[in-house]
Amino acid sequence: MPLENESFYNLLGDEISRESIVEKMIEYYNQKLEIGETKVTDFNEGSEIRNLLESFAVDLYDLMEDNYEATKIAFISTAYGEWLDLHGENPLVNLARDTGSEAVGLVTFTIPDARAVDIIIPEETILLCEENDLEYITDSEAIIVSGDTSVDVYCTCLTVGEDGNCGANTITTIDDDNIDDTVEVNNPEAFSEGSDYEEDDEYRERLLSAIRIDNFGSIGYYQELGTNIDGVHDILLIEDETYTRKILVNGDEKPVSDEVLVNVLKEFTRPENIVLGHNFIVDSPDYLTLNLNLDLIVEYEFEDELIIDRLNSFFNGGITSDGYDFSGCFIGENLNETHLYSCLESLDGIIRASATTDEDAPLSSLTVNSNEVIKLGEITINQTIYEE
């Protein structure tokens, strides 16, 4: 019977096909014939033994192909799809695939003239972008209050990926016939933070790179060691030519306590953790104190302590009482203004949030150096109750 023309290359580079399996079995019989252990000699097409071997080859090929696939998924260099994800979920690797994110930004709704009544743009209103033909959705309800002619609201692209990072003045269409047709929309600044799904090749290389640097005594090794110490949020290692590494420790609380600094030094200088010739100096990072003037539009008045607790979770990291988990600010990380406002507006009852520094400067002007971490300072909270 004719065999299907199908093959694959195993990890050794050998081509495997049903025909090659039959040839291997014939070769085996010929070797046995030479030493007198078989009398089978007719392997011509159509012979009984040839037909029998070809029947065996069908099932053997499937088994070998299945075994090949099982072997591939066992190694990061050849795994794919969900099997590659499982390698990243291994506790010794702990590096998840980047599944992508949606672009976010601010849009402004305007009307030509002030009205005597409020104009409400509902949450999840769909907007269209002329640059990429993608849809964007408002994150919260927007209200042009009576006497005003505009309102700002944050929006999120409905499509994951970099394509959602549109330029300024490109979101200009409201896809909702129920909204007053005199209302116009525009995005005064470009949208950002959209990222693509990480394909296998890119993710595989990142996993392999992480494993390569995660060797004993490497930067990756010490970073993993440091962040597993109680009270440590993140660390920064500064290396010089004498193998003396200065460790800047950003604690879960700012400023970091002396106890945490001592514990870090003890852990790093344990005999089983230190590489011969390495010395360590442990210190805290420089703190960039941020004093905030916070303006909130609210449905009802909040206790300041509740808002301050949420801000502390955002800047220091942690889970709030209503289940939101914030990663906190890392050493050298700039403030993400959009994420800050989303943190506050996710608190039920806060309609809109905005903030400036204590010098009334925009938050976007805040620049964090590589050895600095943002520390929340004094907070001035102004609450305005929204009235319909």
* Lookup: tokens for 281: 């100096």
Residue 192 counted as domain residue: no
Domain identity same for 306 and 238: no
Domain identity same for 253 and 312: no
Domain identity same for 131 and 40: no
- Output the pLDDT for position 261: 94
Domain identity same for 291 and 374: yes
Residue 44 counted as domain residue: yes
Domain identity same for 177 and 253: no
Q: For every one of its 388 residues, what pLDDT tens digit does the chain have, with 9 covering 90 and above?
A: 456 668 878 766 778 888 888 888 888 888 887 777 778 788 888 888 888 888 888 888 888 888 888 888 888 888 999 999 998 888 767 889 999 999 999 999 999 999 999 999 999 999 999 999 999 999 999 999 999 999 999 999 999 999 999 999 999 999 998 999 899 999 999 999 999 999 999 999 888 877 765 555 666 777 778 888 999 999 998 866 655 678 899 999 899 999 999 999 988 888 766 665 667 889 999 999 999 999 999 999 999 998 998 998 999 888 877 777 888 999 999 988 888 988 898 888 999 999 998 888 888 888 899 999 999 999 999 999 987 7
Residue 82 counted as domain residue: no
What's the CATH code of the domain at 268?
3.30.300
Instruction: List Cα–Cα distances, 215 to 92, 203, 211, 234, 273, in angstroms.
Output: 12, 20, 7, 19, 12
Domain identity same for 125 and 47: no
What's the CATH code of the domain at 165?
2.40.30
- Output the pLDDT for position 19: 87
Total domains, the chain: 4
Residue 349 counted as domain residue: yes
Examine the fold and report which residue of 283, 307, 342 is the final residue of a domain before the chain moves on: 283
Instruction: List Cα–Cα distances, 212 to 50, 62, 71, 236, 239, in angstroms.
Output: 50, 35, 22, 19, 19
Residue 351 counted as domain residue: yes
Domain identity same for 116 and 165: yes
Q: What is the 3-state secondary structure (H, E, C) of 7-73?
A: EEECCCCCEEEHHHHHHHHHHHHHHHHHCCCCCCCCCCCCCHHHHHHHHHHHHHHHHHHHHHHHHHC
Examine the fold and report which residue of 21, 56, 72 is the final residue of a domain before the chain moves on: 72
Domain identity same for 127 and 150: yes
- Output the pLDDT for position 4: 62
Domain identity same for 125 and 151: yes
Domain identity same for 38 and 125: no
Q: Rounded to an integer, what is the distance from CA 4 to the centroid of its chain?
A: 44
**Nearest residue to 144 via CA among 120, 127, 164:** 120
The rounded distance, in Å, linking the Cα atoms of 64 and 8 is 10
- Output the pLDDT for position 273: 67
Domain identity same for 292 and 271: no
- Output the pLDDT for position 52: 87
Residue 359 counted as domain residue: yes
Examine the fold and report which residue of 283, 318, 340 is the final residue of a domain before the chain moves on: 283
Residue 199 counted as domain residue: no
Domain identity same for 325 and 299: yes
Residue 198 counted as domain residue: no
For residues 127 and 173, the answer to whether their CB atoms sit within 8 Å is yes
| 222: containing domain | 214-283
